[in-house]
Amino acid sequence: MEEPTTDPHAEETAPSEETAEATNVVAGVPGSVPAPSTEDVTMVIWRGDEHGGEFATYHLPAQEGEVVLDVVHRVQATHAPDLACRWNCKAGKCGSCSAEINGKPSLMCMTRMDSLPPGEPVTIAPMKTFPVIRDLVTDVSYNYEVAKRIPPFEPRPKTADEEAAGGYRMAQIDVERSQEFRKCIECFLCQDVCHVIRDHEENKTAFAGPRFFARSAELEMHPLDVNDRRELLREQQGLGKCNITKCCTEVCPEHIKITDNAIIPLKERVVDASYDPIAWLGRKILNRSKRTAREAAASAPSKGPAAIQPSEPVSGVPVAGGD
Amino acid sequence: MPDIETHDFDILIIGAGGAGLRAAIEAQAKGMRTALVCKSLLGKAHTVMAEGGVAAAMGNVYSEDNWKVHFRDTMRGGKMLNNWRMAQLHAQESPDRVRELEEWGALFDRTKDGLILQRDFGGHRYARLAHVGDRTGLEIIRTLQQKAVADGLKVFMEVKVLRLLRDADGVVSGAVAYRRPTGEFLSFSAKAVVLATGGVGKSWMYTSNSWESTGDGHAMALWAGADLIDMECVQFHPTGMVWPLSVRGILVTEGVRGDGGVLRNSDGKRFMFGYIPPMFAAETADSEEEADKWYDDHTAGRRPPELLPRDEVARSINSEVKAGRGSPHGGVFLDIASRRTPEDIRRRLPSMYHQFKELAGVDITAEPMEVGPTCHYIMGGVRVDADSTAATVPGLFAAGEVAGGMHGSNRLGGNSLSDLLVFGRRAGEGAVAFAEGRTGSVSLDEAEVAAIIDAAVAPLQREGGENPYAVHQDLQRTMQSLVGIIRTGSELEEALGAIEELEERASAVSVGGGIAYNPGWNMATDLPSMLTVSRAVAQGAINRKESRGGHTRDDFPTPDAEMGKVNFVQRIEQPDAAGVLGTPSVRTIGVGPEPLPVMPDELAALFEEAH
């Protein structure tokens, strides 16, 4: 018998030969056990805690129209009541049930079983970037710590007209840019997939990650905000470490264009703030106008649009991948 | 004291949805040592699922709108069972609460002249719901969360509170809880406690509610000796998804109808024209032509019957399905595809588009949705003082869905998010005022803490007992079939008997595995609240022998004028003896009618004016 797989993200993710005790739980590599009927689904789910664990295999009857989370719930109800997973809304609105389904960071509630290869086992592992608490539940407190370090929203004062009208005036087109980022449901899949922290634990102390670059972009582009986060982004949040591979954008269940619409414009603003001569030349050539948040606020209610064309990576790291 | 983690705060707030966060921001701003405790991660509470908008008579779209109109709509929507003072405060204060969110960073959709845009919803006379597409709840919870984090609020995430504790004088003094990731127990002592625990939907099979909605606050208040009112008044939202089965119950926003969507039966007929009740006949269109004019100009026609209050629409859908005119999967059709351009639909209802596309494989810009009623909201709850949100037990406050009275027997769409903000803030204020006036040190009874922990871990130590999931599923079946949208006396009595059996079973469940992040054990600790609340709903439904708002009795199909003047109050006989589920004192819930607070003449006059 092989050693149990202690890392849910080891290269070989074949289920262990350990036999689960519950009836209906058929352990082992799919195919090595009496073949389930074609109407069955086979779930290969990582079970364990911070000390290690292994994949367990569950066979269940298929049901029409199910998502992965439904099947996980059925495993809980009938096979493994202590199988840990997070969930709340079951409709892609709360961002709780993040996991890696067949290796891809996804929401379990929005992944339909019929979107996965038919007849093949479905492998579910916890997010790799965060420490495992138990089974599919990870310790995502890193994200809540980063959130605390972002300078908060600080609105400009109301104009006399706004005081009279009882509220700020902003044009729909101006709020829409930040609204894109405010769609974020904080599932942290973008953080999970980001190789800067996925493969380098040591980077976590000085890297905010795509979710919080999007948050900073949202604030920087907010028509009312006057706080300036650019220096912080460069010096403490590791914006330069992002080499815009767009992995975050690819996994975002809200389809937020994190790289194109948040990170690249932020990189430009940060470059602007640090007077990079090459970027300055680039802007001259491309004739782009830039304003700081404060300058923009001075001419509120409308800020100048952020350029969304890619620029030179700030850190000098070559641009890799992209789509 | 058992060897557990202990904390001492001025204010303990249980629940981190809109109401809890808003209360915490208020308490924190007043310099109180404040703790916020939530069962999930911060930002995942049920508020995040609210879609259509927050109701506030700002008058940005229709300048005719004002708090009096909103107040009147709210009272009529609640079939006049509302606590008038709560409805008044709510209507008066919600515009300021919405504008305040904007000052904290919220970005609502805009009118052409740059103000907050407002949309139409059922039961609201004017376009009144401030919104962000169809993800308003996310915007509100994120704004409050980010404000609370910026203010340095102490948050205990993934902590389940088991019981409230009272001191020798009967004043609420804290709570016992456990950390879900580790199973470690902790106690909180506090000068005042705010309940903001939300709803109870997980006792039903088909619900829009998440796993968290197990009625913990309702049950803990009752166990601590507080009064509950109107527990029979449960809202079945007319439009939940019905297919695929696995998503049955997930909410489809009323915004679909507010933005022009109509309900059709299997004959393609807009059946709501056949279900206009006398109370709303004067203001409801009686032809499709008239109704369709209204969307663009509210003065050109009366409002479409699809936008009647939710109780009316839910019952009508129920009747159509029963009459054999339903959709293939037992709902009716909600059609916006034939009424608006695909572009408009995707812009106005992006998350509905997404939800149907991904979960049901339905393109709502091209085909109708199948929808049916889903258990959504409880109007009943902890009886509170309108101004301070104080419960009937000193030291305890309640805001949001867990509080009763504000919505009467039926809540209007959009009034929940505004309720959270208005009464969340007031709960924070009320708790601070109480805490400031409380003298002496707050201490917890060690024996009581130990007993609560013993009861909680019992399912882990017991062997050979039943799986708690099985008890939960049977409870859901019972409530769905016997205490659902249409009720009858004999079935309600049957439900009480079934709940009693389930209580026995729940007190004997056993759970395998460890104490750390064990959903089976978590379920076992949620069962007592679900059962207590289910009993309260069934009991209330037995006593209210009439049909009103969210409470419909087949055997008493019309409203009764006398019953419309009372709240059915529930409390238990010996609160502190109710430590363990299954003890007779928990089952002995006193139920009695008590008169509603009387509305002052100047407000009563609003209901005599012509509209």
**Residues of B recognised as catalytic:** 237, 257
Q: Mutate which of B92, B358, B475 to test chain A, going by most A C-beta atoms within 10 A?
A: B358
Residue B327 has pLDDT above 70, yes or no: yes
Q: How far apart are CA B445 and CA A67, in angstroms?
A: 46
How deeply is A295 buried, as exposed, middle or buried, from its count of CB atoms within 10 A (0-12, 13-18, 19+)?
exposed
Lowest mean per-residue pLDDT among B61-75, B184-198, B291-305, B584-598: B584-598
Contact residues, chain A, for B516 at CB < 8 Å: 49, 133-134
CATH 1.10.1060.10 residue ranges for chain A: 141-297
Contact residues, chain A, for B117 at CB < 8 Å: 172
B246 and A70: CB-CB below 8 Å? Answer: yes
Residue A177 has pLDDT above 80, yes or no: yes
Contact residues, chain A, for B138 at CB < 8 Å: 93, 182-183, 185
Coil/strand/helix, residue A54 = strand
Encode pLDDT of B382-427 as tens digits. 999 999 999 999 999 999 999 999 999 999 999 999 999 999 999 9
Predicted pLDDT at A22: 37
Between A307 and B285, the more confident residue is B285
What does CATH list as the number for A2-138?
A: 3.10.20.30
B351 to chain A, any CB pair closer than 8 A? The answer is yes
Q: Which fold has domain A141-297?
A: Fumarate Reductase Iron-sulfur Protein; Chain B, domain 2 (1.10.1060)
B107 and A222: CB-CB below 8 Å? Answer: yes
B102 to chain A, any CB pair closer than 8 A? The answer is yes
Q: Cα-flanking dihedrals φ and ψ of residue A125, to 5°? A: -125, 155
**Across-strand partners of B14?**
B37, B195
B107 and A175: CB-CB below 8 Å? Answer: yes
Q: Cα-flanking dihedrals φ and ψ of residue A241, to 5°? A: -70, -20
Decide the pairing of beta strands B172-179 and B185-195: antiparallel
Q: Which of A88, A91, A182 sits opposite B107 (nearest CB)?
A: A182
B244 and A65: CB-CB below 8 Å? Answer: yes
Neighbours of B383 (CB within 10 A): 24
Second-level CATH architecture of B456-595: Up-down Bundle (1.20)
Radius of gyration of chain A (CA): 23
B115 and A167: CB-CB below 8 Å? Answer: yes
Residue A293 has pLDDT above 70, yes or no: no
Coil/strand/helix, residue B164 = strand
Radius of gyration of chain B (CA): 23
Angle at Cα B501 formed by Cα B496 and Cα B503, nearest 5°?
90
Contact residues, chain A, for B103 at CB < 8 Å: 155
Second-level CATH architecture of B240-373: Alpha-Beta Complex (3.90)
Encode pLDDT of A133-147 as tens digits. 999 999 999 999 999
Between A238 and A4, the more confident residue is A238
Q: Cα-flanking dihedrals φ and ψ of residue B178, to 5°? A: -140, 155
Encode pLDDT of A58-70 as tens digits. 999 999 889 999 9
Q: Which of B246, B516, B519 sits opposite A83 (nearest CB)?
A: B519
A149 to chain B, any CB pair closer than 8 A? The answer is no
Place of tokens 């679909």: B256
Q: How far apart are CA A301 and CA A296, in angstroms?
A: 9
B467 to chain A, any CB pair closer than 8 A? The answer is yes
A22 to chain B, any CB pair closer than 8 A? The answer is no
User: How far does the CA of residue A233 sit from the closest CA of chain B (Å)?
Assistant: 18
User: How far does the CA of residue A59 sit from the closest CA of chain B (Å)?
Assistant: 18
Note the pTM of the prediction, 2 decimals. 0.90
- Residue A319 DSSP class: P
Encode pLDDT of B95-109 as tens digits. 999 999 999 999 999
A81 and B512: CB-CB below 8 Å? Answer: yes
Encode pLDDT of A88-125 as tens digits. 999 899 999 999 999 999 999 999 999 999 999 999 99
Q: Are B253 and B193 in contact (CB under 8 A)?
A: no
B48 and A89: CB-CB below 8 Å? Answer: yes
The helix (run of H) or strand (run of E) holding residue A137 is strand A137-138
Encode pLDDT of B265-282 as tens digits. 999 999 999 999 998 999
Predicted pLDDT at A305: 35
Alpha carbon B103 to its chain's center: 26
B247 and A67: CB-CB below 8 Å? Answer: yes
Contact residues, chain B, for A96 at CB < 8 Å: 40-41, 44
Q: pLDDT confidence of B307, banded at 50, 70, 90?
A: very high
Decide the pairing of beta strands A122-125 and A40-49: parallel
Predicted pLDDT at A20: 38
Contacts 24+ apart (CB under 8 A), A312-319: A312/A278, A312/A279, A312/A282, A313/A240, A313/A243, A313/A244, A313/A267, A314/A234, A314/A239, A314/A240, A314/A267, A314/A270, A314/A271, A314/A276, A314/A279, A315/A240, A315/A241, A315/A243, A317/A240, A317/A241, A317/A243, A318/A243, A319/A243, A319/A244
Predicted pLDDT at B609: 65
Q: How far apart are CA B306 and CA B254, in angstroms?
A: 9
CA distances from A268 to A220, A260, A292, A303, A315 (A): 12, 11, 11, 16, 12
Contact residues, chain B, for A76 at CB < 8 Å: 469, 519-520
Q: What is the domain partition of chain B in residue ranges?
A: 4-55+69-107+133-235+376-436, 240-373, 456-595
Contact residues, chain A, for B101 at CB < 8 Å: none
A:B CB pairs within 8 Å: 176
What does CATH list as the number for B4-55+69-107+133-235+376-436?
A: 3.50.50.60
CATH 3.10.20.30 residue ranges for chain A: 2-138
With b for 16 or more beta-carbon neighbours within 10 A and e for fewer, the B315-343 pattern comes to bbbbebbeeeebbebebbbbbbbeebeee
Decide the pairing of beta strands A104-107 and A98-101: antiparallel
B113 to chain A, any CB pair closer than 8 A? The answer is yes
Residue B601 has pLDDT above 90, yes or no: yes
Predicted pLDDT at A131: 97
How deeply is A11 buried, as exposed, middle or buried, from its count of CB atoms within 10 A (0-12, 13-18, 19+)?
exposed
